[in-house]
């Protein structure tokens, strides 16, 4: 009965890991006030035309006559939605292959390997082999928080990219997507599976 529960928890962890990695974890949108966007556009136009002060004054006068400086509301300037896998792909395409490889290693390869080895522990293997597997799993478990750290880095990376070059004009809004909740559930079930396997390992140690 205990073995069946442990296997079920491990399989659920694996099932949650897949959408946790492939489904979007975060959406970030950015908007700018129309009046601020107009002002920024006038500044850029004035710089391109030269004689900034006089040109800016003339453009500001025309803008005021047209009522552009009194524009209300916001304009959405970007919207990004990324998964862990999608972020790794974007990092690779932007030349950060090492960082992309580390993201895949700690958020996909290591968790998947650990869960697969935990499943092997429930097979009728020789006692010596089970002890070796237990040592390997214990070694991998030392990196158990790395996947959570990777998700935190991805959220920071997306937020930084979103606000880059926009200054204080940009107003960003973030929203967790379904992948974040899948990944959180995977983390909880993974912790539970580790606890159940620990009880099994301690029982083996008494044999």
Higher pLDDT among residues 93 and 29, named by residue: 93
Does 98 score more than 50 pLDDT? yes
Tell me what pLDDT residue 185 has: 92
Write the pLDDT tens digit of every residue in 131-187. 888 888 888 877 766 777 777 777 666 666 555 555 556 667 778 889 989 988 998
What region, left, alpha or beta, does residue 41 occupy, with left being phi > 0 and alpha being psi -120 to 50 degrees?
A: alpha
Kindly indicate the confidence band of residue 108, based on its pLDDT and cuts at 50, 70 and 90. confident
Tokens of 111: 């968790």
Angle subtended at Cα 161 by Cα 155 and Cα 162, rounded to the nearest 5 degrees = 90
Q: pLDDT value at position 15?
A: 94
pLDDT in tens, 3-16: 788 889 999 999 99
Could you tell me the two tokens for 175? 């929203």
Domains and CATH numbers, the chain: 2-32+80-205 (1.20.140)
Three-state secondary structure along 5-41?
A: HHHHHHHHHHHHHHHHHHCEEEEEEEEEEHHHHHHHH
Higher-scoring residue by pLDDT: 196, 155 = 196
DSSP H helices in 23-126: 34-49, 52-66, 84-93, 97-104, 110-120
What is the structure's pLDDT at 205?
55
CA distance 84 to 158: 11
Determine which of 20-24, 69-73, 97-101, 153-157 has the lowest per-residue pLDDT on average. Answer: 69-73
> How do residues 25-78 score in pLDDT, each as one tens digit?
888 777 666 555 556 555 655 555 555 555 555 545 445 544 555 555 566 666
pLDDT at 16: 94
Query: The pTM is what?
Result: 0.71
Query: What pLDDT shows up at residue 100?
Result: 86
- pLDDT confidence of residue 66: 47
Token look-up 């991998």 returns 140
Q: How many residues does the chain have?
A: 207
Confidence of residue 199 (pLDDT cuts 50, 70, 90): confident
């Amino acid at each position: 009965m205990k073995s069946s529960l442990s296997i079920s928890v491990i399989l659920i962890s694996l099932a949650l890991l897949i959408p946790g990695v492939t489904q979007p974890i975060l959406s970030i949108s950015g908007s700018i006030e129309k009046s601020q966007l107009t002002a920024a556009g006038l500044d850029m136009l004035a710089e391109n035309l030269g004689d900034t002060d006089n040109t800016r004054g003339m453009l500001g006068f025309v803008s005021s006559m047209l009522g552009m400086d009194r524009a209300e509301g916001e304009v959405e300037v970007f919207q990004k939605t990324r998964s862990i896998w999608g972020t790794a792909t974007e990092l690779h395409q932007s030349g950060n292959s090492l960082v992309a490889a580390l993201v895949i290693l700690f958020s996909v390869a290591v968790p998947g390997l650990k869960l697969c080895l935990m499943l092997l522990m429930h097979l009728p293997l020789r006692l010596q082999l089970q002890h070796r597997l237990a040592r390997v799993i214990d070694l991998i478990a030392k990196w158990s928080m790395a996947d959570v750290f990777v998700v935190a880095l991805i959220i920071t990376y997306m937020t930084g990219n979103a606000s880059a070059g926009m200054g204080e004009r940009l107003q960003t809004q973030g929203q967790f997507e379904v992948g974040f909740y899948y990944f959180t559930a995977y983390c909880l079930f993974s912790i539970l599976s580790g606890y159940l396997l620990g009880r099994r390992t301690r029982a083996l140690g008494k044999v």
